[in-house]
């Protein structure tokens, strides 16, 4: 039924990949996947191709299987090397996303050219003017940057996404064209929001330091708290998406970190994140495949936002 369209999409994807446009290629393959029924051999082959392109986008290749008869490396040294490698890759991933925030000004301005987004931002700001217009505008800007992090990551994986829409008293959201189909991919999309939100908070903190602005410090602190709330692994929050590919031990490790951060910084939100992670780890019915890069990025965001949230709010 869809043979002609599938062949067209395959040709477009191969051309885009040959030109180095991996996100475009992934978008074509993703659209083709929606035309194939579950269990079809063509669908399984296409899913493998999608995984290969995603690996190229993420900057790593699938782990090769061990050669039969080969001597296994020492487990301890292998674990240390893998941990160091994962940390380095996680930091490079963060650097790539942070660079995109500053380099792709056109993307950041995307939502500001859409009337529905502007009107919803105005409504949200009006709802939060209890402590002054500058603070309300700063919070709206912080949330906007957070949401644009999701948009950037979604588009990086070839997933169409709308500009953010704000809901007064709730937050903001983006609408997807074709949703993530892989837990690892979904986790990176989920954590991109808090990562970009961290940059927004750090920029506000820098303004506060440079100009002695209590309002800027408050924007940074509240932004850190909002992003920590989004890391709680429940419902459709970013933490639920970021937790999805993690093993029980990875979740428990992050849970311990959250509780420790709450104790050391005398804040309740990191402890809430940690407690929720512990519950989700113990309630998991099936073990997730694990993703050390995502776990390290999750940990980095918990620590960074906990520190930023300690800035004064008045």
**How many Å apart are CA 190 and CA 89, to the nearest integer?**
18
Q: Please give the pLDDT value at position 179.
A: 60
216 pLDDT higher than 70: yes
Q: Please give the pLDDT value at position 103.
A: 54
Task: Map out the domains of the chain as residue ranges.
Answer: 3-58, 98-308
Q: Which of 252, 277, 264 lies closest to 306 in space, CA to CA?
A: 264
| Mean pLDDT to the nearest integer, 227-243 | 95
**How many Å apart are CA 241 and CA 232, to the nearest integer?**
10
292 pLDDT higher than 70: yes
Overall pTM > 0.85: no
**How many Å apart are CA 8 and CA 43, to the nearest integer?**
16
Backbone angles phi, psi at 145, to 5 degrees: -65, -40
Q: How confident is the prediction for the chain on average, in pLDDT?
A: 83
Q: Are 36 and 42 in contact (CB under 8 A)?
A: yes
| Mean pLDDT to the nearest integer, 13-30 | 86
Tokens of 233: 């692994």
Q: Three-state secondary structure along 229-285?
A: HHCCCCCCCHHHHHHCCCCHHHHHHHHHHHHHHHHHHCCCHHHHHHHHHHHHHHHCC
pLDDT in tens, 155-201: 888 888 888 888 887 788 888 776 656 888 899 999 999 999 999 99
Q: Please give the pLDDT value at position 174.
A: 87
pLDDT in tens, 40-56: 788 888 888 888 888 88
Tokens of 34: 């929606």
pLDDT in tens, 127-140: 777 778 899 999 99
Ordered DSSP codes for 132-197: -HHHHHHHHHHHHHHHHHHHHHHHHTT--BPPPEEETTTEEE--BSS---SHHHHHHHHHHHHHHH
| Alpha carbon 61 to its chain's center | 20
Question: Strands (DSSP E) along the chain, which ranges?
Answer: 165-167, 171-173
Q: Are 32 and 46 in contact (CB under 8 A)?
A: yes
In the block, residue with structure tokens 């008869």? 69
pLDDT in tens, 237-252: 999 999 999 999 999 9
Tokens of 78: 């292998």
In the block, residue with structure tokens 């954590």? 191
Tokens of 246: 């993690």
* Residue 101 pLDDT grade (very low, low, confident, very high; cuts 50, 70, 90): low
**How many Å apart are CA 296 and CA 193, to the nearest integer?**
16
Q: Are 104 and 152 in contact (CB under 8 A)?
A: yes
Q: Which of 244, 241, 258 lies closest to 287 in space, CA to CA?
A: 244
Give the strand pairing for 171-173 and 165-167. Answer: antiparallel
pLDDT in tens, 53-100: 888 888 754 433 333 444 444 444 444 444 455 445 444 545 554 555
| Mean pLDDT to the nearest integer, 91-118 | 65
Residue with the larger pLDDT of the pair 176 and 11: 11
């Amino acid at each position: 039924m869809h043979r002609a369209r599938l062949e067209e999409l395959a040709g477009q994807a191969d051309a885009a990949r040959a030109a180095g446009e991996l996100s475009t290629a992934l978008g074509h393959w993703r659209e083709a996947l929606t035309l194939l029924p579950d269990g079809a051999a063509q669908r399984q082959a296409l899913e493998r191709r999608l995984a290969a392109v995603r690996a190229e986008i993420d900057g790593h290749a699938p782990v090769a299987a061990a050669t039969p008869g080969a001597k296994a490396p020492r487990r301890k040294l292998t674990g240390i090397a893998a941990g160091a490698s994962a940390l380095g890759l996680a930091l490079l991933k963060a650097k790539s996303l942070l660079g995109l925030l500053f380099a792709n000004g056109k993307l950041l301005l995307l939502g500001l050219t859409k009337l529905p987004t502007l009107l919803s931002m105005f409504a949200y700001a009006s709802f939060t003017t209890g402590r002054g217009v500058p603070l309300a505008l700063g919070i709206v800007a912080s949330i906007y940057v957070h949401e644009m992090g999701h948009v950037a990551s979604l588009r990086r994986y070839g997933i169409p996404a709308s500009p953010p829409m704000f809901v007064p008293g709730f937050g903001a959201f983006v609408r997807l064209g074709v949703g993530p189909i892989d837990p690892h991919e979904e986790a990176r999309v989920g954590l991109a929001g808090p990562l970009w939100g961290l940059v927004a908070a750090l920029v506000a903190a820098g303004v506060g330091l440079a100009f002695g602005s209590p309002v800027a410090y408050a924007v940074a602190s509240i932004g850190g708290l909002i992003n920590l709330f989004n890391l709680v692994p429940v419902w459709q929050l970013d933490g639920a998406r970021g937790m999805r590919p993690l093993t029980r031990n990875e979740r428990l490790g992050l849970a311990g970190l959250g509780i420790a951060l709450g104790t050391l910084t005398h804040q309740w939100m990191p402890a809430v994140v940690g407690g929720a992670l512990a519950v989700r780890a113990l309630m998991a019915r099936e073990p997730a495949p694990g993703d050390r890069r995502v776990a390290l990025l999750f940990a980095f965001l918990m620590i960074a936002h906990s520190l930023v949230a300690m800035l004064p709010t008045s």
